[in-house]
Structure 1
Amino acid sequence: MTDVQNNTIQFKHIAPKIPSLVTNLHNVIKGLVLANQTNPDKNHGLAWCIERAVKRNPDGIAIKSDQGAMTYREFNQQANQVAHFLLSQGYQIGDTAAVMIDNRAELLICVAALAKIGVAAAMVNTAQTQKVLAHSINIVKPKGVIVGSELHQSIDDIRDQINIEQDHFFVVPEGDIPSVEGYRNLLAEASNSPRHNPDESKKVRRDDPLFYIYTSGTTGLPKAAIFKNGRWMKAFGTFGFIVARLGKQDTLYSTLPLYHATGLVVLWGSALAGSSAFAIRRKFSASQFWDDCRKYDATCIGYVGELCRYLINLPESPQDKQHNVTKMIGNGLRPGIWKGFKQRYGITGVHELYASSEGNVGFSNIFNFDCTVGFSPMPYAIVKYDKEADQPIRDEQGYLQAVNKGEIGLLIGEICPKAPFDGYNDPEKSKACIIENAFKKGDRYFNTGDLMRNMGFRHAQFVDRVGDTFRWKGENVSTTEVEHIVSEHGDVAESVCYGVEIQDTNGRAGMVAITPKASVNFDPNKILSHLQSELPSYAIPVFVREQQQLQTTGTFKYQKHTLKDEAFNPEKVTDKLWALLPGEKAYTQINNNLYQKIQSGDYRF
Structure 2
Amino acid sequence: MSQASISARDIVRQLPGVLRRFPAIARGLYYYSLKDSGKDLTLGRLVERNADRYPNRPAILAGDCRITWREFDDWSNRIAHYLADLGLGKGDTVAVLLENRPELLAVVAGAAKLGVACAMLNTAQTGRVLTHSIQLVEPRLVIVGEERIDSIENIRARLSLPHPFQFLADTNTLASFGEAPAGYDNMAAQVAARNSDRPRPATPPTLGDTAIYLYTSGTTGLPKAAPGSHRKFVRAYGGFGLMSLAMTPDDVLYCPLPLYHGTALLVCWGSVLAGGSAIALRRRFSARAFWDDVRRYRATTFGYVGELCRYLLNQPPSERDRDHGLTKMIGNGLRPSIWQAFKARFGIEVVAELYASSEGNIGFSNVFNLDNTVGFSTAPYKLVRFHEGTRDPIRNARGRLEEVAKGEPGLLIGAITRKWSFEGYTQKEATEQSILRDAFRKGDAWFNTGDVLREIGCRHLQFVDRMGDTYRWKGENVSTTEVEHILDASGQVREAIVYGVEIPGTNGKAGMATLVPRDDQAFQANALLTHLRRHLPGYAVPVFLRVTHDIEKTGTFKYRKVDLQKLGYALERPDDEVYVWLPGTHEYTRLTPALVRRIDAGDLGF
TM superposition score category, shorter chain reference: 0.7 to 0.9
Match of 1:496 in 2: 510
Match of 1:574 in 2: 588
Q: Distance in 1 between matches of 2:508 and 2:274?
A: 35
Using the TM superposition, give the Cα deviation of residue 420 of structure 1 relative to its aligned residue in structure 2, in angstroms.
0.5
Secondary structure of 2:462 counterpart: strand
Match of 2:438 in 1: 437
Alpha carbons of structure 1 residues 341 and 244: separation in structure 2 relative to 1, 3 Å: same
Using the TM superposition, give the Cα deviation of residue 504 of structure 1 relative to its aligned residue in structure 2, in angstroms.
6.4
Using the TM superposition, give the Cα deviation of residue 301 of structure 1 relative to its aligned residue in structure 2, in angstroms.
0.8
Match of 2:322 in 1: 321
Using the TM superposition, give the Cα deviation of residue 495 of structure 1 relative to its aligned residue in structure 2, in angstroms.
7.2
Which structure 2 segments of 5+ residues have no match?
472-498, 515-545, 553-559, 600-606
CA RMSD of aligned residues (A): 3.0
**1:85 paired to 2:112:** no
Identity %: 42
Secondary structure of 1:233 counterpart: helix
Using the TM superposition, give the Cα deviation of residue 204 of structure 1 relative to its aligned residue in structure 2, in angstroms.
1.3
The letter for the 1-side match of 2:140 is K
Match of 2:583 in 1: 549
Match of 2:482 in 1: none
**1:35 paired to 2:35:** no
The match for 1:171 among 167, 174, 180 is 167
In the TM superposition, 1:186-585 aligns within 5 A as 186-200=187-201, 203-387=204-388, 391-467=392-468, 482-483=502-503, 486-487=504-505, 496=510, 500=514, 503=550, 507-508=563-564, 510=566, 547-549=581-583, 574-578=588-592
In the alignment, is the contact (CA less than 8 A) between 2:118 and 2:213 conserved in 1?
Answer: yes
Q: Distance in 2 between matches of 1:243 and 1:187?
A: 37
Q: Distance in 2 between matches of 1:173 and 1:337?
A: 40
In the alignment, is the contact (CA less than 8 A) between 2:254 and 2:294 conserved in 1?
Answer: yes
In the alignment, is the contact (CA less than 8 A) between 2:219 and 2:470 conserved in 1?
Answer: no
Using the TM superposition, give the Cα deviation of residue 314 of structure 1 relative to its aligned residue in structure 2, in angstroms.
0.8
Using the TM superposition, give the Cα deviation of residue 463 of structure 1 relative to its aligned residue in structure 2, in angstroms.
0.6
Secondary structure of 1:282 counterpart: coil
Q: Distance in 2 between matches of 1:577 and 1:493?
A: 22
Which structure 1 segments of 5+ residues have no match?
471-477, 514-523, 526-536, 552-571, 581-585, 590-605
The letter for the 1-side match of 2:453 is M
Moved more, 451-460 or 70-79: 451-460
Match of 1:59 in 2: 56
Cα deviation digits, residues 573-594 of structure 1 (max 9, x gap):
62241369xxxxx9799xxxxx
Alpha carbons of structure 1 residues 322 and 171: separation in structure 2 relative to 1, 3 Å: same
Q: Distance in 1 between matches of 2:395 and 2:565?
A: 29
In the alignment, is the contact (CA less than 8 A) between 2:28 and 2:242 conserved in 1?
Answer: yes
Alpha carbons of structure 1 residues 159 and 403: separation in structure 2 relative to 1, 3 Å: same
Match of 2:532 in 1: none
Using the TM superposition, give the Cα deviation of residue 402 of structure 1 relative to its aligned residue in structure 2, in angstroms.
1.4
In the TM superposition, 1:5-16 aligns within 5 A as 7-16=4-13
Alpha carbons of structure 1 residues 346 and 389: separation in structure 2 relative to 1, 3 Å: closer
The letter for the 2-side match of 1:358 is E
In the TM superposition, 1:591-602 aligns within 5 A as none
In the alignment, is the contact (CA less than 8 A) between 1:256 and 1:302 conserved in 2?
Answer: yes
Secondary structure of 2:338 counterpart: helix
Q: Distance in 2 between matches of 1:479 and 1:457?
A: 32
Alpha carbons of structure 1 residues 17 and 7: separation in structure 2 relative to 1, 3 Å: same
The letter for the 2-side match of 1:452 is L
In the alignment, is the contact (CA less than 8 A) between 1:543 and 1:579 conserved in 2?
Answer: no
Using the TM superposition, give the Cα deviation of residue 456 of structure 1 relative to its aligned residue in structure 2, in angstroms.
2.9
Alpha carbons of structure 1 residues 352 and 396: separation in structure 2 relative to 1, 3 Å: same
Cα deviation digits, residues 471-525 of structure 1 (max 9, x gap):
xxxxxxx978x54xx21xxxx8997375847536563154557xxxxxxxxxx99
Match of 2:21 in 1: 24
Using the TM superposition, give the Cα deviation of residue 174 of structure 1 relative to its aligned residue in structure 2, in angstroms.
2.6
In the alignment, is the contact (CA less than 8 A) between 1:497 and 1:511 conserved in 2?
Answer: no
In the alignment, is the contact (CA less than 8 A) between 2:2 and 2:336 conserved in 1?
Answer: no
The letter for the 1-side match of 2:168 is V
Secondary structure of 1:73 counterpart: helix
Secondary structure of 1:374 counterpart: coil
The letter for the 1-side match of 2:458 is F
The letter for the 1-side match of 2:330 is I
In the alignment, is the contact (CA less than 8 A) between 2:390 and 2:469 conserved in 1?
Answer: no
Q: Distance in 1 between matches of 2:321 and 2:413?
A: 40
Match of 1:101 in 2: 98
Q: Distance in 1 between matches of 2:513 and 2:462?
A: 23
Match of 1:603 in 2: none
Secondary structure of 1:18 counterpart: helix
Using the TM superposition, give the Cα deviation of residue 21 of structure 1 relative to its aligned residue in structure 2, in angstroms.
2.1
Q: Distance in 1 between matches of 2:584 and 2:440?
A: 42
Match of 2:116 in 1: 119
Q: Distance in 1 between matches of 2:182 and 2:565?
A: 53
In the alignment, is the contact (CA less than 8 A) between 1:149 and 1:180 conserved in 2?
Answer: no
Secondary structure of 2:289 counterpart: helix
In the alignment, is the contact (CA less than 8 A) between 1:377 and 1:458 conserved in 2?
Answer: no
Alpha carbons of structure 1 residues 391 and 547: separation in structure 2 relative to 1, 3 Å: same
Using the TM superposition, give the Cα deviation of residue 152 of structure 1 relative to its aligned residue in structure 2, in angstroms.
1.7
Using the TM superposition, give the Cα deviation of residue 52 of structure 1 relative to its aligned residue in structure 2, in angstroms.
1.3
- TM-score using structure 2 length: 0.81
Q: Distance in 2 between matches of 1:465 and 1:495?
A: 10
Q: Distance in 2 between matches of 1:215 and 1:549?
A: 26
Using the TM superposition, give the Cα deviation of residue 469 of structure 1 relative to its aligned residue in structure 2, in angstroms.
10
Alpha carbons of structure 1 residues 162 and 449: separation in structure 2 relative to 1, 3 Å: same
Secondary structure of 2:87 counterpart: coil
Q: Distance in 2 between matches of 1:33 and 1:384?
A: 33
In the alignment, is the contact (CA less than 8 A) between 2:218 and 2:470 conserved in 1?
Answer: no
In the alignment, is the contact (CA less than 8 A) between 2:359 and 2:425 conserved in 1?
Answer: yes
Cα deviation digits, residues 140-199 of structure 1 (max 9, x gap):
00111111122122212211211203x431111133533222111112112121212111
Q: Distance in 2 between matches of 1:387 and 1:226?
A: 29
Match of 2:476 in 1: none
Q: Distance in 2 between matches of 1:201 and 1:63?
A: 30
In the alignment, is the contact (CA less than 8 A) between 1:383 and 1:401 conserved in 2?
Answer: yes
Alpha carbons of structure 1 residues 75 and 587: separation in structure 2 relative to 1, 3 Å: closer
Secondary structure of 1:575 counterpart: strand
Secondary structure of 1:231 counterpart: helix
In the alignment, is the contact (CA less than 8 A) between 1:8 and 1:405 conserved in 2?
Answer: no
Match of 1:565 in 2: none
Cα deviation digits, residues 229-269 of structure 1 (max 9, x gap):
11221121101110121111110001010011110110011
Cα deviation digits, residues 245-303 of structure 1 (max 9, x gap):
11111100010100111101100110111000100001111110000000000000111
